[in-house]
Amino acid sequence: MTRLYADNLTLAYEQHTVATDLGVAIPDGSFTVIVGPNACGKSTLLKALARMLKPTTGGVYLDGALISTYRSREVARRLGLLPQSSIAPGGITVGDLVARGRYPHQKLLRQWSSEDETVVAEAMRLTGVLDLSGRLVDELSGGQRQRVWLAMVLAQQTSILLLDEPTTFLDIAHQIEVLDLCADLNDRGGHTLVAVLHDLNQACRYATHLIVMRPGGEIAAQGDPARIVTAELVADVFGLPCRVIDDPETGTPMIVPKRRPRTATEAPAVSATTP
């Protein structure tokens, strides 16, 4: 049974409908990536999967039941969410922020325990921020902060993680660092990940399951990137003429845009020569 799926979704913000008749199934144990042009509804779909947005029609199902039937604390015990823009309270340390991931497990008669301490330390170790435990979050680089937020989500001890544009505002080195970490969580930790990404080549490199959305909120294709990503699909969804070749490092699909045709008024480049 697929633990997380959506059926016949209509998603809207007040009177503005973003998508209709959406259906997706997140394979258990997958690293699923949602891609598509700007404003196609990628983050909106993720919000619906996380129960942050109530569908106008249809439903999201988690562990066999409508996600809307669970209490918020119960949802937080079953799936973790890293929002697109995460803002830490001023003056909070890394250790204290990660510890907030244990909130869903706190009860009136069960406050902080040695188990919580162990879980938080392990989450920081897995994300490589254990040595930053006493540092203020405000003092960290963008890549470090993103690892801290991931540690907080891991501290929830959920096997499903939803990540909304986790590489936004990071330079290329930190983007790869965060995506490598996500891949490790999927490969070694057994987590099911669902992430929204903008970079199609990064999506093809890291995803084991790809959901491609086109303008208007429709699903253009779903499945293994090696099977579904073609030049025709990229041209149809993104309006980009391209070639699709094998990534020389991973063998996954790599999109190479076609060179822009030179206009008649453009002169060819002249190389400087020494007389």
- Tell me, yes or no, whether 9 lies in a domain: yes
Question: Going by DSSP bridges, is the β-strand pair 79-82/160-164 parallel, antiparallel, or unpaired?
Answer: parallel
- Tell me, yes or no, whether 8 lies in a domain: yes
Position 260 scores a pLDDT of 80
Q: Which DSSP symbol is given to 269? A: P
pTM, two decimals, is 0.88
- Tell me, yes or no, whether 251 lies in a domain: no
DSSP bridge pairs for 107: 110
Distance CA 111, CA 116 (A): 9
DSSP bridge pairs for 19: 11
Give, in degrees to the nearest 5, the angle at Cα 214 between 36 and 226: 60
How many domains, the chain?
Answer: 1
Position 105 scores a pLDDT of 78
CATH number of the domain encompassing residue 90? 3.40.50.300
Question: Which of 182, 178, 183 has the alpha carbon at shortest distance from 168?
Answer: 178
Distance CA 129, CA 143 (A): 11
- Tell me, yes or no, whether 48 lies in a domain: yes
CA distances, 211 to each of 183, 199, 220, 223 (Å): 17, 13, 8, 7
- Tell me, yes or no, whether 268 lies in a domain: no
**From its phi and psi, is residue 131 left (phi > 0), alpha (psi between -120 and 50) or beta?**
alpha
Distance CA 204, CA 256 (A): 13
Q: Which 3-state string (H, E, C) describes 176-189? A: HHHHHHHHHHHHCC
Average pLDDT along the chain, 275 residues, taken 10 residues at a time: 92 90 95 95 95 95 96 92 82 94 75 87 92 94 89 93 90 92 90 96 98 93 97 97 97 94 65 54
- Tell me, yes or no, whether 254 lies in a domain: no
- Rounded to 5 degrees, φ, ψ at 147 are -65, -35
User: What residues make up the domain containing 202?
Assistant: 4-240
> Crossing angle of helices 142-154/114-126, nearest 10°?
140
- Tell me, yes or no, whether 252 lies in a domain: no
